[in-house]
Structure 1
């Protein structure tokens, strides 16, 4: 375990903020005002929602959320901080984060950083103070809209330009994001799941050999395989059937991932059929 000792949370709470410093603008011109969190700037993507009460760091680092702006319906986000051990990938690919309340100060012995500072380091633009219930109902009734978050401490926004940016974003249809988030070369995986006071272990006596095709696989899925007595060879989304079969696996696992399944299927289906 590599936990930061004597961690002191950075002052990221904006609960006393009253001046609008961020906006969420949807492609149809709908505007939600709020307070900027994370990186300064703007980010465009597909606006979705997640109802989980825990695991916000795992969600933000899940490759399946590539090019999406995540609305968290649970109000207390940030309360356990963040740490390197809980990330589901090397780097988050989500475009933005939407919260109802200001980021909650962390209170957890495993925290290495608070969420706000981590968002800024990762370049993730966010907004708090949004009526996430209204936004979630909008998504439920009309589907996931294209939107743009703009975080500007000066509080100045060109709504017309932001609306145009959201409306002109090409979206996820036809996007083969699996190739974008997939690893570039084969790797061997033997890390097992996290255990109290031990951290992550190593699979030392594998009974089976699994090949996992990485279309955006989460680390914890691979850990579960290792915990079940499997050694895992993880191959890129573009791996050929010949390359996979040459590894002589006992089983082949196809991960989930982001983007348009039809776009990924153009190269994935021939491999599967082979």
Structure 2
């Protein structure tokens, strides 16, 4: 049954979309972004990288496969708000353990349905990601000027530090699941980790120490690990100076490094390059990138609103003194840097999600590359 109680979505430029409440009732503020995946809405909702963001699903029909515990990428939904066009009236999937709207309500996610998400997406593409608010219940009936004021009073995503919101509160160990020889141990800085990342490392023979975002270099050294890994996560990489400094110390120690998404941006900053905010970001499971070493095109899952500022062609010297660096992957939609490869130290990163459970698996071998890099580094000692 589709609800008919009113809801309204307000953008900071004054644009309004009126529809019906979906999920919890109330008021939620955040940066509005769109994601283009045709599948995987539950993985999107439970991805900590979406903290602080109101997510628009460009696929019109959402909820038909329900929800289940196995597809959760963390222990909760993280989106600030949720926008869909046509909520499914029924759940039809043998893996379903419940329906999406009930899950949204239980997790306090305020959403809106029955609006023109195509027009909304075009608006975001033209004007860029911006502050917004979803209002239902009593809040939906407030004067338009009052709602717009609330939207404009919230902080912008640029400059926000959100790692402390999404990170684990206590360190824990996830042991390897590879049959046979253990490859080594990894210190994984949790900046908004997805469960699939830990699984991918475990299945390749790594014991994974999952650590709070503000863990220091000395605390990581005390673990005597073989490598370090920075996860995906939300926020502006310019606000994560502590994590950048920690990574610089560990790179100077010679520890092998891999980063994904936010971890790519923080490697870029640790190497001395800048980062910048994209107009509307890359979000979805159908983003094409080109591997500059092989010219192979890979379809990747992405979720980011910032990028690293590095020349696309040729090797350049790291301004922070870490040797030569080259761009390993380039986004084919807009020529954005999608990966970095260090040529003089054992470190690389990608801007996309090679672990993506709901999307393509073209990039999954990157975890094999990390395993081989760590094994080679250990044997060379």
Do they fold alike, i.e. is TM over 0.5?
yes
Among 190, 193, 198, the alignment partner of 1:214 is: 190
Higher relative contact order (CA 8 A, sep 6+): 1
Distance 1:190 1:84, change over 3 A: farther
> Hey, what's the Cα distance between the residues in 2 that align with 1:24 and 1:92?
20
By how many angstroms is 1:186 displaced? 0.9
1:72-91 equivalences in 2 (<5 Å): 72-91=57-76
Displacement of 1:190: 3.6
Q: How many residues align?
A: 248
Q: Is 1:93 equivalent to 2:78 in the alignment?
A: yes
Kindly tell me: are residues 204 and 184 of structure 1, through their superposed partners in 2, closer, same or farther at Cα, counting changes over 3 Å? farther
Q: Which residue of 1 aligns with 2:242?
A: 267
Residue of structure 2 in register with 1:168 after alignment = 153
Cα deviation code 1:65-104 (max 9, x no counterpart): 0010000001121111111221111122211110111235
CA distance, structure 1, for counterparts of residue 142 and residue 102 of structure 2? 23
Structure 2 counterparts to residues 43-192 of structure 1, below 5 A: 43-152=28-137, 156-190=141-175
Give the secondary-structure state (helix, strand or coil) at the position aligned to 2:199.
Answer: helix
| Gapped regions of structure 2 (runs ≥ 5) | 250-381
The SS at the match of 1:173 is coil
Instruction: Describe how 1:217-236 pairs up with structure 2 within 5 A.
Output: 217-236=193-212
DSSP-derived class of the 2:224 partner: coil
Distance (whole Å) between structure 2 residues aligned to residue 154 and residue 137 of structure 1? 26
RMSD value over aligned CA atoms?
1.8
2-structure distance, mates of 1:237, 1:155: 37
1:31 equivalent to 2:2? Answer no
Structure 1's 248 and 48: CA in aligned 2 closer, same or farther, altered over 3 A? same
In structure 1, distance between residues paired with 2:109 and 2:5:
19
**1:155 to partner: Cα distance:** 6.3
Q: Distance in 2 between matches of 1:220 and 1:153?
A: 39
Q: Runs of 5+ in structure 1 lacking a partner?
A: 1-12, 192-201
User: What TM-score, normalized to structure 1?
Assistant: 0.86
The 3-state SS of whatever aligns with 2:22 is strand
Contact 2:26 2:139 in 1 (8 A): no
CA deviation digits over 1:45-68, x for unaligned, max 9?
Answer: 100000001110110110000010
Q: TM-score, normalised by structure 2?
A: 0.62
The C-alpha deviation readout for 1:98-154, integer Å capped at 9, x for no partner, is: 011123521112211100000000000000111111111111111111111112289
| Residue equivalent to 1:3 | none
Contact 2:42/2:67 (CA < 8 Å) preserved in 1?
A: yes
Tell me: CA distance 1:204–1:26, structure 2 relative to 1, closer, same or farther (3 Å).
same
